[in-house]
Amino acid sequence: MAVVQGDAAVLVEHEVRELVRRRGIDPLADPRSLGDLVAAVLTDYDRRALRGDVPPLADPAGTRKAVQDAVGGLGPLQQYLDDDEVEEIWINAPTQVFVARRGEAELTTTLLSEEQVRELVERMLRLSGRRLDLSSPFVDAALPGGERLHVAIPDVTRRHWAVNIRKFVARATHLDDLVALGSLTPAAARFLHAAVTAGLNILVSGPTQAGKTTTLNALAGSIPPRDRVITCEEVFELQVPTRDVVALQCRQPNLEGAGEISLRRLVKEALRMRPSRIVIGEVREAESLDMLIALNAGVPGMCTVHANSAREALTKLCTLPLLAGENVSAAFVVPTVAAAIDLVVHLEVDARGRRRTREIVAVPGRVENGVVETSDVFHRRDGVLVRADGFPPHPERFERIGVDVAALLHEQVG
């Protein structure tokens, strides 16, 4: 039979798709049933190949994965989702598919068509319940595997659909994992573990792709197991390991423009859910005011913010709440930030794409000439994160958990 190997794989894929349609299987929501179906189709195909009815498959294992990727995965992009070294995938044009490995971008050999890009996006959005059209040309959604999807379409973009898939690689569920990855020193990790356990409020700052969410997740690993944790995020990314945790996610408006649930609303609702801790994925706008109010109400918390330094992060946090309304003034916000934030952990990405902690800054709670005072606890010297001369606020909180913070930091000197 004059049929090439590629045609054989296409035939298997066609049979799988037909059976998926007949049996009403959702290949994205039920990958196990899809896998069983593909295995059954390949077994039947092998029997027919032995009789000479169809061409044999030279690579049954490769065909099985290709079919599962095409029917239940993201087709040509699935190989990058399965690659642990790939951190992000983005499409600038159908013939320009990029990936980032260890912080460095590279253009792949994958070539798509306009139709393939749209079909892949529609498949990714199918389970999220989020929409993308001319009236809503942006979408931010979480994929079933935990990846974060962002899409922009024309005429917001010049010509092609712009697609970003950011993988949340859960490499760090505890601060010790950040030490193993080279982002933290053991001394800094011990201090941060004590600070989280003691209930200090921590702001994680840094540029895009610096590992803010990963660090926030690692910090959450130090929350005492009996605490009740409420997380608030635009899309689900955090994986807090405690048993008493409720994760909240924003919701986009429906076709009529109603039903939107903002991050600000989530923070307000979280306070009604008896939290011992509140963890906010990222503050960008007016929700920062509600976060500050929550922290000043005695609920320990953590969040992230985009900034170029720890001090700039505090300056930004003093500015964002002003977006909440004209009745919110800097005279209220600046001292509130000084009283609410205890530590700032600032991250950076070096020239080789490595994510590192650049500084850990304490906020003593004082304001001088409208500027929040800070004190370096750890900073980088000659490329190494070392002990500075600052101390964190609230030593009494450390005492309550049996930690002498002065002795702990004295051990780190040198």
What angle in degrees, to the nearest 10, is found between the helix axes of 212-220 and 186-198?
60
Average pLDDT over the chain reads 89
For residue range 308-355, what is the model confidence (pLDDT) as tens digits?
999 999 999 999 999 998 889 999 999 999 999 999 999 998 877 788
pLDDT class for 3, splitting at 50, 70, 90?
Answer: very low
Do the Cβ atoms of 391 and 199 come closer than 8 Å?
A: no
Mean pLDDT for 172-178 is: 91
> Domain locations in the chain?
1-73, 78-166, 175-411
pLDDT class for 413, splitting at 50, 70, 90?
Answer: low
Helix (H, G, I), strand (E, B) or coil at 357: strand
pLDDT of residue 412: 55
What percent of the chain has a predicted confidence (pLDDT) above 70? 96
pLDDT of residue 57: 83
- Long-range contacts, 233-238 (Cβ 8 Å, 24+): 233/263, 233/280, 233/281, 233/282, 234/140, 234/263, 234/281, 234/282, 235/140, 235/141, 235/142, 235/148, 236/142, 236/146, 237/142, 237/146, 237/148, 237/168, 237/213, 237/281, 238/213, 238/279, 238/281
Mean pLDDT for 233-253 is: 89
Q: Which CATH architecture has domain 175-411?
A: 3-Layer(aba) Sandwich (3.40)
Among residues 403, 366, 360, 349, the alpha carbon closest in space to that of 104 is found at 349
Query: Above 90 in pLDDT, residue 276?
Result: yes
For residue range 4-34, what is the model confidence (pLDDT) as tens digits?
445 677 888 888 888 888 888 888 778 888 8
Do the Cβ atoms of 387 and 393 come closer than 8 Å?
A: no
AA identity, residue 167: K
Mean pLDDT for 388-408 is: 95
DSSP state of 224: -
Higher local confidence (pLDDT), 75 or 339: 339
> Strand pairing partners for 347?
357
CATH number of 78-166: 3.30.450.90
- Whole-angstrom Cα distance, residue 6 to residue 3? 8
Query: Above 80 in pLDDT, residue 185?
Result: yes
Query: Above 80 in pLDDT, residue 128?
Result: no
AA identity, residue 66: A
pTM value is 0.81
Among residues 264, 260, 35, the alpha carbon closest in space to that of 129 is found at 260
- Whole-angstrom Cα distance, residue 311 to residue 293? 21
Query: Above 90 in pLDDT, residue 390?
Result: yes
- Whole-angstrom Cα distance, residue 355 to residue 352? 9
Do the Cβ atoms of 367 and 360 come closer than 8 Å?
A: no
- Whole-angstrom Cα distance, residue 14 to residue 4? 16
- Same CATH topology for 78-166 and 175-411? no
Query: Above 90 in pLDDT, residue 124?
Result: no
pLDDT of residue 2: 35
